[in-house]
Amino acid sequence: MSREQRRQDRKAQTPGGGSRAAAPPNRRTPVKARGGTGLPWVPIAIAAGTFAIVLLIAYLILQAGSDDSGVDAASEAEQDASTDLPGVFVPSQGRGHFSGSYTPDRPPHPFCEGVESSGETAATPQASATSGTSPTAQATGANGTPLATSTPGPTNTPGGGVTTPTQLANGSPQPTATPREDCYASNPPSSGRHLNVQRNADVGNGNLVNIPPDPDVYPSDVEIPRDAIPHILEHAGVFVGYNCAEGDQACQDVVDQLADVVNDRIDNHDDRVVMAADSDLPVGTIGLASWTRVMNVPYADFDKDAASDFIGTHSCRFDPEGFCG
């Protein structure tokens, strides 16, 4: 067959005719067009990761800030000499610890001169570390409470230590103290060196207590060691003491009222308060202490509302170690 004949034969064949070989299949796999429901997972994962990092950084910043604010709040409370707060301000004598554990025969830390107690000889004044002089003790009331001072100019802390008042925002004096550390400047103690944490300390009469003791109203035969009281206060607590003469039923009646107040503050307000007999107090005295605050009254002048206000105001007011959350 000639070339021309073959050309004519090809032209004569129609599409779809059986004599022409089918075209080879397209090897590309067809892709069905997607609808609009797909999500961009990669960008979403990147955004989520970035957000998590930002949250972590913010949390760390807030934690650092809260720690600082807690320290600042405790420092501010420690130095607050405002007369708006219940009790008398006694400049801080620090938060140091004694070495060793409590034993019944351990001599207690003495009270500074001018601080009234039930009869112990007080520590004598020492020269001020800043002035080189031997200052006299601050005047005290008949019940042993240091009298508040509001006169501008240099004054003295209870038992020593020269102070120079500055002014708070509300105009009350703010002492800058150089406190003594060899004696307690108030009775009950309101700051200063104290015993370390101790479990089951023998305080006599077969009684074992923790140091510092847990919030509670303790039986009359349990006396908290003097040197443990500042540790109660450092743990955001309030100490309530009393000393009744033997057979003084009127005083005991007041102590029963005081116990009702303390139990109410513990049970219904979750306050951190310890109440116990305190033979250091002058006989017939009720004594309340928080960190840098003290309020002593003869039992005949006891006021339930004033006691409740002192406890409610000062429980957790000074909380350098975060016991109040």
Q: pLDDT tens-digit profile of 108-130?
A: 999 999 999 997 656 765 433 33
Judged against a pLDDT cut of 50, whether residue 135 lies above it is answered with no
- pLDDT(248) > 90: yes
Could you tell me the pLDDT band of residue 70, with boundaries at 50, 70 and 90?
low
Quick one: pLDDT at residue 53? Answer: 87
List for the chain the helix, strand, coil content (%; round to 5): 30, 20, 55
CB 110 within 8 A of CB 122: yes
- Ramachandran assignment for 160, one of left (phi > 0), alpha (psi -120 to 50 degrees), beta (any other): left
How much is the pTM? Answer: 0.68
The string of pLDDT tens digits covering residues 28-55 is 545 454 555 567 778 788 888 888 887 8
Using only the alpha carbons of the chain, give its radius of gyration: 39
pLDDT of residue 173: 42
Closest-CA residue to 314 (of 267, 276, 272, 262): 272
Rounded to 5 degrees, φ, ψ at 27 are -80, -5
Over range 82-86, report the average pLDDT.
Answer: 97
